[in-house]
Each structure stands twice: as C-alpha cells, then as structure tokens.
Structure 1
Amino acid sequence: MSFKLDKLTVRHLTGARTAALHELDLAVAQGEQLALIGPSGAGKTTLLSTLACAHQPFDGGMEVLGLDPWSLSHKARHALRARLFLAPQTPPLPPRQRVVTAVLAARLPRWSLAQALKSLFKPSDPDAAFEALSRFGLGDKLYARVDRLSGGERQRCSLARLLLSNAEALLVDEPISALDPSLARITLATLQAEAAARKATLVCSLHQVEMARAHFNRIVGLREGRIVFDLPRERVTDEMIAALYENEIIEAQPHPGHEPPERIAVGACF
C-alpha cells in the first residue's frame, strides 16, 4: 500500500482553526493511478503535500509506503520523503539556473555533496537530462536558462526532473494547467507510462475534468476539504460532477457517450 489515510484532518498552515482537510479516509495501492478533481480551494494541493509528508496532520492516522511518517525520526522521515516526488503546479526552479542543471537536481537525494557541487559546474549526465526533456518536447531547451522558459515549459521541465527520480510514488499538482490540449494529452500519457513502467503510484490533481475522466480509471472528487466521491470513472456521472462544482462555471468537453455541452453552469444537486 502506498498511502492509507484514516480519518485524517489537516489544518491550514496559517494557524487558522478551520481544517483544510476533514476526516479523510483514503487507500491507494502501490502502482495505482488516480486523479483528484474538485473546485479551487477544495484541498487538492494540501492533500498532495500531506501525502508527500510536507504537512503534519492535526488528527487521524496516516501511512506512507507502509510507515507512519510522523512517528519517525527526522532522518528517517527525510529518507522516506526521498522515495516520493512532489511536482507542484508552479515549480520552484532557480531562475538563473540552466535547464540541464535543474533537471539533474532530481538525483540530489542520491548524490554526495561533492557530486552535487561538481554537477553545478559541469552537468554530470546531460544525455539523461536531454532524454527526459525530449519526452516532453523540450530537448532543445537543455542549456537554456530557466527564466527564459514560458510557464508551460517550466511545468514540463519540472516533470522531466520527475523522470530522473527513482521515486516510488509520484504526486503531481495540476501538471497541464498551462498547456494546450495536444501538449496536455502528451504530458499525461508520458506521466502515466513512466509510472506504469516503474510500477510507481501516480496521484494527479487536475482542474480539467474531461481529461481526468478520459485518462484515469479512478477519480476522487474533493470539495471543501472532504471526499465527495471515490469511484471508478465509469461510475462518475455528469450529475456528480455538477454537484461537485456547484456554483462554479467550468469548461466542459464531451465524455465518451455524451453530447458536448458548450459550457456547464454548475448548480445541480443529486
């Protein structure tokens, strides 16, 4: 089992008394791939950060790769985090760094300090970085500076870094938010193929509901920090999506077997 949450509650980092996540029950098997969907502020990013052991829960139980991360020593928890890869929506890439160096940083948990410093001046394996970037259509950016990349290119640069990690669980936050539909499909396909090849777990938050339903067999819907549904995609109905995004306007694409509405004014209930 990659992740197991038992009545997990997480408070906002601001110190507010309100909870960001409320009594979540969730189990994710090793090698499973699932999509998190829900309106802005639903708790998707907080859940991914919590799974990555970046947020300590306020209450409830949590296991990550068979371990309780918050009962471990600091050193042991750091070792556990090295088995996970969290790709944030806005990757914190140093702006003056070359793309090749940013991508090879995925190997830092496995390098000594001497290896890391050496690679800053002379990239240790540019061929591996080029191959990873090429899978996202960025091979020509190998020696570009990070601050010369567009937002979508920065996202894909961060995902290329993911390919060079040896993580057992991949936690990806809105990886296609800045990409056109064609690049979005290629990006999701690459992530899913990589996860399948290394038998890694993939948990991916998506704002694009139609992409989640087209690419993932399991869909978890979050709203106001609570799991509204956790179902195989064929059991996720348009009515469920409407209720999940109640009072929001979302762009809609046809789900297989459905006629394409131009837009959905979401306000329906079960």
Structure 2
Amino acid sequence: MSFLLEQLTVRHLAPGRAAAQAPAALHALDLAIAPGEQLALIGPSGAGKTTLLATLACAHRPAGGRFEVFGQDPWALSQGARHRLRARLFLAPQTPPLPPRQRVVTAVLAARLPHMSLWQAFASLLHPADPDAAHAALVRFGLGDKLYARVDRLSGGERQRCGLARLLLSSAEALLADEPISALDPALAQHTLAALQAEARSRNAALVCSLHQVDMARAHFPRLVGLRAGRIVFDAPREAVTDAMIAALYENDSVQPLPAQPHESPDRIAVGACF
C-alpha cells in the first residue's frame, strides 16, 4: 500500500494554543491508496485538500490516528530515514517555488537534488548536468522552447507546467499534485493531466491530484474522494458519484464547481517538489 490512513487527524498549530487545542484541519480520515492507483480530491475551498496532500508528503505530522507510507510510519523513523522516505514522494504545489532569476533548465533539474551530494548540487547550479533530460521533460508539457528562459519570464501557466516537468525527472513512487491545471486553458489542462497520468502508469506510481474542475476529475480519474470541512464525504468510483452527491458536496459554497460533463476516457499524451 502506498498510503494508509486510519482515523487520521491533523491540526494546524495556532499561536498561544497547545497542540491538542489547535483547530483540526483533517478529522478522522480513513483512506487507502494502492501503488498505481489514480484518484482525484475534490471539494470546496478550505475543505482540506492541500492539507491532505501535504500530510501524504510527510510535511504535516498527524495529531492522531494511523499513517503509513509504503508500509512505514514516517514519524516513527529517524530524521535521516524520513528524509529518504520523502525522496520516494513528489509533491507538486499549486504555485511551484521556483527562484525567479533561475533558468528553467536548472529549476527542472532540481528534481534530482535529493539524490545529489552537496558538491554535485552546487556544481549543477553553474553547469546543468543533464540539459537533454530537462528538455525532454519540458517537451512533454509543451515547454520545449523554454529550456534556457528565466523563470520570471514565464507566465503563470508556464511556471505551473515547469514545476510539473520536475516530476518527470524524479524517481518518486507516489505523485501528489495540488491543483495542477488551475492556471491552464482547457486544451492545456487535458494535455497536462494526460501527461501526469501516463507518467504515473509508466512507473506504477500512485497519483493523487486535487482539482476544482469537477468535470475534469470525473472524466479523467477512476476514483473520486470528496472532502468537505476536513472530512471525507464520499470515496467512490467515478461511475458511482452522482450529480446529487456533487451538489451536496458543494452545497452553500460561494464558489461552485464547473458543471459535470459526460465521463470520457483520458486521452494519452502524444510525446512531441519537489520539495
């Protein structure tokens, strides 16, 4: 099992409050994700989607319950062992932390930093070690002409795809993406999701994406997990998720999701966070 959560609770620490008194961001979640499984997290803003992804990436320590990654409790490991475990995960945040004056080639190759020595990492800043690999990754996301551009010359959508190109150069066994298509037009969004899913299939990696576009989630992902107020409202195959369930998930939410479309099989891409 890539991830196993049982009665998992996560609290956001607040100034002046003890950990036990901090508000719960995730409440008693039960969730199991197998290698190669692909699922979408959907729900209104503030539902806990980003917190759940960060928890899966071992960035938030749970306040209670059981949490295992690849059969291990990351918070029972030594710091060094937990760092090695994190290297098997890739978290792509919605806004990738790309240094603005850095060249795209360097930003993409940063995916390999967890496996480099300090000297190798420093040398790569001056002379990118494998620009061909970076270019191939960028091509998959339609950014082949941006290899030596500066990050601050990219549009928001281009930065987002640049951050995702890092994923292709990682050796991660589980891929986590937070709103990976939020800054993309519909055609690019289709292309980007197809690239992510094809990569996950090629390495039999679990893929977990949070999405606000419900129609895209229903069209592309075989399993949907609906979150609201830090709780799982439903966890079901997409065929079992009805329009009424979606409406109830977003009930009274000020920002409604895009209307659901008929289910479609994901198109395969034509090949042309790490943290």
Tell me how far 1:36 sits from its aligned partner: 0.2
Task: Tell me: CA distance 1:177–1:13, structure 2 relative to 1, closer, same or farther (3 Å).
Answer: farther
Task: Tell me: CA distance 1:13–1:177, structure 2 relative to 1, closer, same or farther (3 Å).
Answer: farther
Query: Are residues 1:155 and 2:160 paired?
Result: yes
Name the structure 1 match of 2:115: 110
- RMSD over aligned CA atoms reads 1.1
User: Which blocks of at least 5 consecutive residues in structure 2 are unaligned?
Assistant: 264-275
Tell me how far 1:234 sits from its aligned partner: 0.3
Instruction: Give distance in 2, aligned partners of 1:72 and 1:107.
Output: 23
Question: Paired residue for 1:209, among 202, 211, 214?
Answer: 214
Moved over 6 A (4+): none
Instruction: Give distance in 2, aligned partners of 1:192 and 1:140.
Output: 23
Query: Are residues 1:42 and 2:54 paired?
Result: no
Task: Tell me: CA distance 1:41–1:154, structure 2 relative to 1, closer, same or farther (3 Å).
Answer: same
Tell me how far 1:251 sits from its aligned partner: 4.4
Asked whether the equivalents of residues 214 and 260 of structure 2 are also in contact (C-alpha less than 8 Å), the reply is no
Aligned pairs for 1:111-260 within 5 A: 111-248=116-253, 249-256=255-262
Tell me how far 1:218 sits from its aligned partner: 0.2
- Percent identity of the aligned residues? 76
Name the structure 2 match of 1:71: 76
Deviations 1:152-192 (A, max 9, x none): 11100000000000000001000000000000000000000
User: Which blocks of at least 5 consecutive residues in structure 1 are unaligned?
Assistant: 258-270
- Give TM-score, length-normalised by structure 2: 0.91
Instruction: Give the aligned length.
Output: 257
Asked whether the equivalents of residues 44 and 228 of structure 2 are also in contact (C-alpha less than 8 Å), the reply is yes
Instruction: Give distance in 1, aligned partners of 2:227 and 2:12.
Output: 16
Deviations 1:2-49 (A, max 9, x none): 000010000014356210000000000111000000000000000000
Instruction: Give distance in 1, aligned partners of 2:244 and 2:211.
Output: 18
| Bigger relative contact order, structure 1 or 2 (CA pairs below 8 A, ≥6 apart) | 2
Instruction: Give distance in 2, aligned partners of 1:181 and 1:157.
Output: 18
Letter in 1 for 2:213: Q
